[in-house]
Amino acid sequence: MSLSEHLEGFPITLRWPVAWGDMDAFQHVNNVVYFRWFESARIAYFEACGWNERMRTSGVGPILAHTACAFRAPLTFPDHVLLGARAEGLESDRFTMRYRVVSEALGRVAAEGEGRVVSYDYRAAAKAPIPEDVRRAILDLEGRGGGQ
């Protein structure tokens, strides 16, 4: 099984270097680093569906309401990780983002995560529907656009 097969079904993928300084005193990559990686994958997803740009023009942007990580295998420097992000459970004002971390050195999935993303109108300080063009872009990214 090739590494990229571990990320099948993830429309957004990134390759990221593990830094020596990502390791903690137990000499494994520290748990907080995974959430930084999830964030990088999430931001890349938002970029791909136009939400970063839309936020600047409309004031409606994403808020992270909950996040979690299941650690499957400890990581060490040197290594590179492949990061995957996909959306599921899309509702009018929220969805769940799924993350996967694949280690090149280990050749396997090292962690899986999720984040509950809520759409928020920063100007009105209230929940707001996901902007329609962002919503369509998410459906397209997830292969569910186009009238099916």
Cα-based distances in Å from 93 to 59, 77, 90: 14, 39, 8
Query: What DSSP letter does each residue of 79-148 carry, written as one string?
Result: -EEEEEEEEES--SSEEEEEEEEEETTTTEEEEEEEEEEEEEETTTTEE-PPPHHHHHHHHHHTT--TT-
With beta carbons less than 8 A apart as the criterion, state whether 99 and 41 touch: yes
- Residue with smaller CB distance to a copy of itself, 14 or 90: 14
* Interface with a copy of itself (CB under 8 A), residue from 27, 56, 132, 148: 27
Residue 73 binds a copy of itself, judged by CB under 8 A: no
Q: Does 91 bind a copy of itself (CB under 8 A)?
A: no
42 and 35 in contact (C-beta within 8 Å)?
no
47 binds a copy of itself (CB under 8 A): yes
Binder among 13, 30, 58, 96 for a copy of itself (CB under 8 A):
30
77 binds a copy of itself (CB under 8 A): yes
Q: Which of 13, 58, 67, 96 binds a copy of itself (CB under 8 A)?
A: 67
Give dist(CA 94, CA 124) in Å, integer: 17
Do 87 and 142 contact (CB within 8 A), yes or no?
A: yes
Nearer to a copy of itself, 63 or 124 (CB): 63
- Which of 65, 89, 123, 143: binder of a copy of itself (CB under 8 A)? 65
Residues lying near a copy of itself in the complex (CB under 8 A) are found at 14, 16-17, 19-21, 23-25, 27, 30-33, 35-36, 39-40, 43, 47, 63-71, 77-78
